[in-house]
Structure 1
Amino acid sequence: MEPFKSLDSTKLNFNHIKIWYTSGMGFFTDAYDLFIIGAILDVFNAYHLPGFTLNSLYTGLLASSAIFTAIFGQLIFGVLGDFVGRKTVYGIEASLLAAGAALSAFSPNIIWLIIFRSIMGIGIGGDYPISATIMSEYANVKDRGKLVALVFANQGIGSLVAVAVGAISAFTLPPDLSWRVMAFVGAIPAATVIYLRRKVPETPRYSALKGDTENLQKSVQFVAKENVNSKAPANVKIQRMSFSQFFSKYWLLLLGTAGTWFILDIAFYGTGIYSGPIVSAVLGKPASVGNEIVNAGIPFMVGFFGYFTAVALMDKLGRKPIQTLGFIMMAVLYGTVAFLAVSKGAKLEGFLIPSADAFALYALSYFFIDFGPNTTTFIIPSEVYPTSYRTTGHGISAAAGKTGAAITTFYFSYLLSSIGIKGVLEMLAAVSVVGAVLTLIAIKEPKLKSLEEASQDSVLVESQETK
């Protein structure tokens, strides 16, 4: 029995794309923020603006505050999405995100900047489980990986816009205005979708979980209206399991999705936020803050192509092979650059090959991060957990990732000064190997399976006589 066959078999259409845009803008801001906070730190370090003088504590808090609060956003909105509904909370997280980003631009001092970025972080965190699940539960089987990957690929667009905004602002505006423009632009994309999010119908799967027959039909027809068999069975019911049942059945999978995301974000956020110092150490200190921002953005530009390679291949190669390959290539590239690095203590003195070639290898790691586990760790939890705990499972997994991001962001500057780039890359190579092994052991492949099959959900279709 395939109760959502009309939804799963419908062709890709405009409403799928509409949900993609509505879901994706939060991830634009997530990636925009990942790069732009590094650019803002560059401005503060270069100009020592009144009220924004940095020490090691403020640097760590400014870099990591939004990441720490994102953990709470992911857990809170993940639970709420399963127990009060995806639609009920959809738009609230975007409002928090937009408000926090906009208010950051008007911060009178560094303390208020940290507070406003913390508000933004809650919104960013809440966006992960809700947007991923809504796109997954509306997608057809053939294009589900592609559509959820496209939601996440807005990170690639956000990264490039951040490089452009950061560089243009630094080159053309006074320092005290340049960083405020950088902060404010992140609010715009999220603000454009708040209304659209409030208008998206509750998903078909959650409607079936709640026994809401009327909304079940409405939501199926929302994307499957051109399918002649666009009606779902009126008597379909998804069973809600207890948390103890969920944990006993899915604990290994939860370890896999949470553990691999934790490992991925150790590399992604540490090297991302501190891209400026890393690139400057490899290529040399540039002549201006603007040039430093441009150089720091080069790895993000390489990673941009990884997002859309993942979109193209996700439903062909599958999530598990792509994630495994990504972790392996990260380990190889980090290990190779570390092997080629010549250091004295924590100080990088050069490479056994030209620095530009070593930098190219390092930048290539961003392609495999974004083609591989940075995308797949987002997709897989939206498919492999049952409807009654889908946003919870995704939220727990995403929170584990952001925990890794928070830890590495807070301590990365210390690691760079204590063990140097060579030591950091050796550490990242080792954890990437662990990520590949954990993927092979604990991750299931959901490619071309219905959500009910991929998650082993309990679905009942009662006979009319029973009714």
Structure 2
Amino acid sequence: MSNNPFKSMDSLKLTFNHIKIWYTAGMGFFTDAYDLLVISYILATFIDAYKYYGMSVPGFTNYLVGPNSDFWIGLLASSAIITAILGQLIFGFLGDKLGRKSVYGVEASLLTIGALLSAFAWNLPSLIFFRSIMGLGIGGDYPISATIMSEYANVKDRGKLIALVFSNQALGSLAALAVGVISVSILPPDIAWRVMAGLGAIPAATVIYLRRKVPETPRYSLLVKGNIEEAKKAAKFLGTGIEVNSNVRSGIKGVSEFLSTYLPVLIGTAGTWFILDIAFYGTGIYSSSALAPVFGNPFPSHPTALSLSEFQSDLAKALFIGGVPFLVGFPGYFAAVALLDKLGRKWIQLQGFIAMAIIYAVVSSVMIVNGTKVEGFSIPPTLAFIIYSLSYFFIDFGPNTTTFVIPAEVYPTKFRTTGHGISAASGKIGAAITTYLFPSLIATIGIKEILIMLAILSVIGGIITYAFVPEPKMKPLEEASREKIEVSQ
């Protein structure tokens, strides 16, 4: 783009302040992943403590093992996901309306408050309420952090930097696994779950101040607010300037023009994220069923009152087994970080969906089932598990990373956080549907049929990617987003 005022920012080498913005944005995603994963460990602690240790935690256990247990388990597991949808839409809208800086730090504060209060919940409804507050913060983090990183990044490293923000999820997942296993190993169940919940507040709390100090992005300052001095000051934060001597504004006029121009792109970014999260959260829910034939269940086959030390050992082992697929997926995030700016976002997303479809189809074809129950595999169980776990690698080295990166690049400045927020909310709607429906689907149609369904959905994800998702690799942000820039004297 010949009249692009951000050329010097685009051609800048990686600076310390790029890394500072990455850390400031990334700690939110560390917390997001930690808090969304740790709830499954908290649930297991409550339920297994009752079944195998005979402990009933007042205010909690009666909800989770009573006649309405399915309702309460579903609500606790999905409460943060449901409010995250609201957070993504609300913060996405406000980020474009009020500016990125004006709301940045609010979502980290909500994350911190929600996680901290969760540790002091007195019963299950209060825990659900506090996690709902946290969910608003989780949702708000997506569009704002992704956009701030994309609008400050240089062209050469933009994909890598946005993906690095997201890859903090990998570290957060590992932290949740480590904290969960250690907590239940050394603490009684009624204290262990509170430690797991409360520690989630720390990473988000470390960046609230830093987020409030990040200047408004040069692109928003110039193209939306029309404030040349603020834009120059923000560019100076990176040690460079912007080339502008006249009033430069975003040429896109309103919502109708945005939708008429960007609807196909919105179908691409929102549709693929919706499909990805059905697979990502779905496989997370029933991974224990796929792992059981390989590792076995560490608990006794019939509920019995174990001693505290026996129970702690078995629960720690059970939590670790449940986290194994996340360990397999871990390198996938960083493979994406390393290759996004070389191979391109679209290619990585496409091959990820194709690999997922093949893996789900293969694993379902080797399953031996009796009704809805998995009785074994027609190949060695360890081999079946290795193939199944590879799906986690290709989810992360594929659409789990790219669906976050692409919406931060392909929408114009005036609607960038809105476009990202709608896309992310579409993903979380897929996650919420999965969290509610998959447990009953496992009981009615079984895992084999679910895997076939996921294989078909992955193929559809690949088709939508091919047809509707643009390739932003190595393009200035204004070119990747087809930004209309108007110059007035």
Q: TM-score, normalised by structure 2?
A: 0.92
Deviations 1:144-169 (A, max 9, x none): 00000000000000011111111111
Deviations 1:443-466 (A, max 9, x none): 00000001110111111344xxx3
Aligned residues of 1:75 and 1:399 also touching (Cα < 8 A): yes
Counterpart pick for 2:47 among 36, 45, 49: 45
Give, in whole Å, the separation in 2 of the partners of 1:191 and 1:373: 29
> Is 1:73 paired with 2:77?
no
Q: CA deviation at 1:34?
A: 2.8
Partner SS for 1:384:
coil
Given residue 375 of structure 2, which amino acid in structure 1 is its aligned partner? Answer: E
Give, in whole Å, the separation in 2 of the partners of 1:279 and 1:104: 30
Aligned residues of 2:36 and 2:80 also touching (Cα < 8 A): no
Counterpart pick for 1:218 among 228, 233, 252: 233
Unaligned runs of 5+ in 2: 51-56, 300-313
Partner SS for 2:409:
helix
Alignment CA distance shift 1:121-1:207 (3 Å): same
Give, in whole Å, the separation in 1 of the partners of 2:19 and 2:456: 39
> Is 1:23 paired with 2:35?
no
> Is 1:142 paired with 2:156?
yes
Given residue 185 of structure 1, which amino acid in structure 2 is its aligned partner? Answer: L
Give, in whole Å, the separation in 1 of the partners of 2:186 and 2:243: 56
Give, in whole Å, the separation in 1 of the partners of 2:40 and 2:286: 6
Given residue 436 of structure 1, which amino acid in structure 2 is its aligned partner? Answer: G
Give, in whole Å, the separation in 2 of the partners of 1:101 and 1:405: 20
Give, in whole Å, the separation in 2 of the partners of 1:281 and 1:434: 30
Deviations 1:227-248 (A, max 9, x none): 5xx2331423223420000001
Aligned residues of 2:252 and 2:258 also touching (Cα < 8 A): no
Give, in whole Å, the separation in 2 of the partners of 1:401 and 1:182: 26
Q: TM-score, normalised by structure 1?
A: 0.96
Give, in whole Å, the separation in 1 of the partners of 2:294 and 2:449: 14
Counterpart pick for 1:113 among 127, 135, 139: 127
Paired residues, number: 459
Q: CA deviation at 1:413?
A: 1.5
Counterpart pick for 1:87 among 78, 96, 101: 101
Aligned residues of 1:29 and 1:190 also touching (Cα < 8 A): yes
Q: CA deviation at 1:426?
A: 1.4
Give, in whole Å, the separation in 1 of the partners of 2:175 and 2:243: 41
Alignment CA distance shift 1:16-1:32 (3 Å): same
> Is 1:206 paired with 2:220?
yes
In structure 2, the residue matched to 1:365 is 391
Q: What does 1:391-402 align with in structure 2 at a 5 Å threshold?
A: 391-402=417-428
In structure 2, the residue matched to 1:246 is 258
Partner SS for 1:147:
helix
Given residue 59 of structure 2, which amino acid in structure 1 is its aligned partner? Answer: G
> Is 1:284 paired with 2:286?
no
Given residue 151 of structure 2, which amino acid in structure 1 is its aligned partner? Answer: E
Partner SS for 1:237:
strand
Moved more, 324-333 or 356-365: 356-365
Partner SS for 1:380:
helix
Aligned residues of 1:93 and 1:123 also touching (Cα < 8 A): yes
Q: CA deviation at 1:29?
A: 1.4
Aligned residues of 1:382 and 1:394 also touching (Cα < 8 A): yes
> Is 1:64 paired with 2:78?
yes
Aligned residues of 2:290 and 2:385 also touching (Cα < 8 A): no
Aligned residues of 1:338 and 1:425 also touching (Cα < 8 A): yes
In structure 2, the residue matched to 1:446 is 472
In structure 2, the residue matched to 1:342 is 368
Partner SS for 1:348:
strand
Give, in whole Å, the separation in 2 of the partners of 1:17 and 1:135: 10
Moved more, 42-51 or 105-114: 42-51
In structure 1, the residue matched to 2:415 is 389
Alignment CA distance shift 1:189-1:277 (3 Å): farther
Give, in whole Å, the separation in 2 of the partners of 1:61 and 1:205: 40
Partner SS for 1:342:
strand
Q: CA deviation at 1:277?
A: 4.7
Unaligned runs of 5+ in 1: none
Counterpart pick for 1:419 among 438, 441, 445: 445
Give, in whole Å, the separation in 1 of the partners of 2:448 and 2:88: 33
> Is 1:266 paired with 2:281?
no
> Is 1:181 paired with 2:181?
no
Given residue 225 of structure 2, which amino acid in structure 1 is its aligned partner? Answer: K
Deviations 1:216-267 (A, max 9, x none): 00111111x1x5xx23314232234200000011111101100000000001
Q: CA deviation at 1:354?
A: 1.7
Alignment CA distance shift 1:314-1:3 (3 Å): same
Aligned residues of 2:29 and 2:165 also touching (Cα < 8 A): yes
4+ residue runs over 6 A deviation:
none
In structure 1, the residue matched to 2:329 is 303
